[in-house]
Amino acid sequence: MDRIPILKLGGALIVTIQVDMHDRLALALEEDLTAMIARTGARGVLIEISALEIVDSFIGRMLVSIAAVSRVLDAETVVAGMRPAVAITLVELGLELTGIKTALNVERGMALIQARLSKDEEDGYGGDRDRHEG
């Protein structure tokens, strides 16, 4: 089965969704991301969706669920790059992306996550997050 690759960059995990998501792929991504957060101690998850032509309630629910699980594991989720037509449709559909931060593009999304990572360092618990790496 296909899987969506997850990249680790410092304390952040990055996923870019480039394919039309079918249900099994969405569920696999949720599982993989959760496992990866637990393994790496990542503090931020960036999901880039500029290639997604639609976000229906199924995909919306997946994003909300990823964000909720990530939060329990002390990581913050940012969804970046939503197409304007998708955003308009989501609002009319009535879907609220509860608990998800959104950013216009990857650059701004990374800035949000970076801000959290810097704050962690100031608070003095940034350094040993990679403890279970490998």
Partner 1 sequence: MTVTVTKAETLPIRSGDDVVRVRQRVRALAIEIGLGLVDQTKIVTAASELARNTLDYGGGGDMRAEIVLAGMRKGLRLTFEDQGPGIADIEQALTDHYTSGGGLGLGLGGAKRLSNEFHIESTPGAGTRVTIARWK
By CB under 8 A, name the one of 6, 13, 45, 55 that touches partner 1. Answer: 55
Please report whether residue 60 would count as binding partner 1 according to CB under 8 A.
yes
Q: Which stretches within the chain are classed as H helix?
A: 23-40, 57-72, 84-93, 106-123
> How many angstroms separate the CA atoms of 6 and 116, rounded?
20
Contacts with partner 1, 62-101, as mask; x by CB under 8 A: ---------------------xxxx-xx--xxxx------
Q: With binding defined as CB under 8 A, does residue 123 bind partner 1?
A: no
| Phi, psi dihedrals of residue 69, rounded to the nearest 5° | -65, -40
CA nearest neighbour of 76 among 53, 103, 50: 103
- What residue ranges bind partner 1 (CB under 8 A)? 20, 22-24, 53-58, 60-61, 83-86, 88-89, 92-95
